[in-house]
Structure 1
Amino acid sequence: MIKERFKEYRSVLHKRCMSHEEAPLSAPPHVTDDDWRILCDRFSSNSFQKRSKINSDNREKLEVNHVAGSKSFAEFHHNMRDSVTGQKLGPVDLYRGTHCRQAMRSWVHPRADEIWAAMDTLRNQPTPDGTQRSEPEILSEVLGTRSGYVRGLGHGAKLMAPARAASTRSIVVG
């Protein structure tokens, strides 16, 4: 709750600093003039504007948002445990935890529900040779990979090709 309040407060300050000429006139009463000038200079700096543009462009490319906030998926995964066994959840259940609002039991986007349903179907469906797919392989198959990076598992997981067979792959979660 405090984090959300701070984000909202920072957003309000940023909106007040949008015009560099008018910024000194619109300082909030609880911020000193010196601090206000520093904030406005930061918000109007080229590096801040460039980073802001890059972040906006990246957010527009997202197909589905998540509910993890600024917490990394690795940290979120570390804190998520099965309520019965106390063990960490697998990658498929981690996807559900990071894309479904638990309190309201609703998905952040209808596409997130479709993706999870596809992963759940693959998890319950045996392969042609009768074995089960591993959860990281299911994630890789449904979400795809990017330069060996498995989407949804963060930077700690890499897609690795085993030495024995060129047609199969495994995922190393480090």
Structure 2
Amino acid sequence: MMKEWFKDYRSKLHRQCKRCVSHEEAIQSAPLHVTDEDWRILCNRFSSDSFQRDSVTGQELGPVDFYKGIHCQQATGSWVHPRASEIWEEMDTLRNQPTPDGTQWSEPEILSQVLGTCSGYVHGFGHGAKLMSPARATSSRSIIVGDSAVRQADTTEREVQPLWVIVDDIKYRLDR
């Protein structure tokens, strides 16, 4: 449960950084519970090419490679969970084989096939990540996050704020 909270928290920080018009504005808008130094480091990480692009090809990551990027540690090559490795291997296999009608699988089709969908939402990509049909997809990144997801994240942030005070207090007590 803590792992899920951390992933949601990290995602919330990334969204807050992306909402800003410029990098300088992002750095100036540090959340209350994050130190200025830590926020500057996070903003630099979020805006870096290595965070947004494939380090080998220099291209923007598609959803399948994005899945690998968030579930596999680059430094060690180890997966956060053995099932995540199996899922990525299934996606990579589909990407390299033709569909039954002889065409190439699109990344939205791969995600739908391997992860499954529930009311159009993709499993494994957090709340609000919605799968677009290949015909409506305008780029290789065909997962979109709707306004309702952003509103939900803001509401969740307000609800979680008091918990951060408790977490900081516990950290302080443990460090003594």
TM-score (norm 2): 0.48
Structure with the bigger percentage of helix: 2
TM-score (norm 1): 0.48
